[in-house]
Structure 1
């Protein structure tokens, strides 16, 4: 088969790659979106029915993006004529002396909820001793699978091409980049790599090794003793408990909605695992920790998970994203290391990656996302 030519090729049809391709096609660029698995699939980081979107960040480089994230998600809802976002609010729980908690309070410009107010509004939750609460009133749930499908459909509506079931076997850099898959060859003037847990193997093949770690995450759902107690239809909010288990890891939760009568509560961390071996030798240590958390603070839930699913995080040492050009091949753009909190940012991340592909000035200061911050970790070969 002869080579097929495109302006841009995006490798990886998760939410980041799909939004990148969407922005390119919307800018009238001939764009190919390549995915190694048959769509839809649940092997990576973008599947599942729900994610949290929130303003409650303490880093300026995230808080400045959030307003446009909300706007662009709403734009996709309008274009696709489908509901993707449900406002629920988000309870941010943390120790008063915690620096991140104080920073989030300043961002939200909210005063602490008193324990009496909390008990009146959320009688089904036992607030941890020594913890305070602020309310991110504009936060809510993104219906993830629905949003991903909508973005991909819009990309095709704008003229984009999706080839799934095609794993990239070889990348040959140059002024025109050549990709080889099991089905043929493709050429483009730029390539964007948004391959999630598989990014490292692709990057190594083109001479760069980044400090990325892949983690297997247990996504746990807990049964309500009385159905609806923590339900989205009763306006129960999402929550995040900062350093909930006395360590650096947070516990987060979403109201019951995905599965009737089951609330999603998870540890924001996981076990090192290669993406193709995600389901081998699963560890239940973190499930036991979350089970203890549930039994103490959510008396209306059965403290044994009713459903456990899996997801992959691709984590950087500082938990911040990588949005940058390849150090040698400037027409190869890298989006990686979304560290389990990138889904909500995908509309803006896709916009930035598309701008880098078009050699346009990025809409945001991306200095915090440059590869150079890991210079002591990065390995390059000619």
Structure 2
């Protein structure tokens, strides 16, 4: 049983079904819904990984799996755009990239603000910033990815229960039982890929995760031609008042922009405020005025999502310490979706084989002292 069929759960459901496992997914909302962490049109995929260099083997495998999945489905899921990353020399972004590129040979370019201005004249970056360019980066069509993983999982024999809420689960020596608001299910193994709702499973393990409310925005401008796909790359800029990212214009919705790092913790994912509040836009608008000064921002849409953030902002991928027939994937901390197919592979290996061939020791529960 896969509990939660969003970004990670849909990939896990697909991978298990493709391996011939009899598997069932339970989702409290609908397919490719907008209530969790895997919605909002696009997600960045990149080889420029400043968070931790040990993600690189997983990233390489994720790129391979996305490519294979595109071929299997005949759908365009990944669009290459390039990515410009900028920050001060002592910023976590730039220092992390220097470590990443020193440990893993990956194509990249480095430039200063004036060189970046010649390359991408739409941007006006502060002159003290260091800039890296990742030519292998792009974006994933997030809802399409989830939809396709679910459709292909069902094609391979998976079953799916949507609009069905899990009320409890119990692990027994030989099986697990899952109680929903409609039925009781029994299986050999349980995989928890419940996004922000997985935090309830981590509290008893003394892991202090937080749920952050995050808002993404779409803005239009009278002339958007110079901000469209193939005119600007995806961008990520770390400044003193926040770290901001954005995507080229791909449709009439406009330029998608958001702030990434500022925590706005909430206690309960069921009580997330999905309305816009005054301070949500403030820093994003300030960023646009400074860094994209010719873009005359008019808000056209917004979307509220959640990050589930671990103490070290790295993922949790492991077998439950108290129940060997329960596997957990959680705490993706705002940078997980690009890894979905390799997470699915890892979850399937942990579930079927009890171990994984992937290098995930740095993502195990034991790194938290209390475990």
TM-score under structure 2 normalisation?
0.92
* Alignment-derived partner of residue 5 in structure 1: none
Q: How does 1:113-192 map to 2 (within 5 A)?
A: 113-174=111-172, 175-192=174-191
Range that drifts further, 83-92 or 124-133: 124-133
Paired residue for 1:66, among 59, 67, 89? 59
SS at match of 1:309: strand
SS at match of 2:227: coil
Contact 1:314–1:336, Cα closer than 8 Å, also in 2: yes
Give yes or no for the alignment of 1:91 onto 2:84.
Answer: yes
Q: Distance in 1 between matches of 2:346 and 2:139?
A: 23
* Stretches (4+) displaced over 4 A: 280-283
Q: Offset of 1:250 from its aligned partner?
A: 2.1
Give yes or no for the alignment of 1:355 onto 2:357.
Answer: no
CA displacement, residues 62-111 of structure 1 (integer Å, 9 cap, x when unaligned): 11111111110111111111100110000011223442242345454534
* Alignment-derived partner of residue 256 in structure 1: 249
Q: Distance in 2 between matches of 1:292 and 1:105?
A: 31
SS at match of 1:323: strand
Q: How does 1:1-382 map to 2 (within 5 A)?
A: 9-58=1-50, 59-98=52-91, 99-106=95-102, 107=104, 108=106, 110-174=108-172, 175-202=174-201, 207-232=204-229, 234-242=230-238, 244=239, 246=240, 249-257=242-250, 259-260=251-252, 262-269=254-261, 270-273=263-266, 274-279=268-273, 283-303=277-297, 305-376=299-370
CA displacement, residues 336-368 of structure 1 (integer Å, 9 cap, x when unaligned): 000111000111111111111113431212111
SS at match of 2:188: strand
Q: Distance in 2 between matches of 1:263 and 1:169?
A: 40
Aligned residues: CA RMSD:
1.9
SS at match of 1:334: strand
SS at match of 2:300: strand
Q: Offset of 1:120 from its aligned partner?
A: 2.2
Q: Offset of 1:261 from its aligned partner?
A: 5.7
Contact 2:191–2:326, Cα closer than 8 Å, also in 1: yes
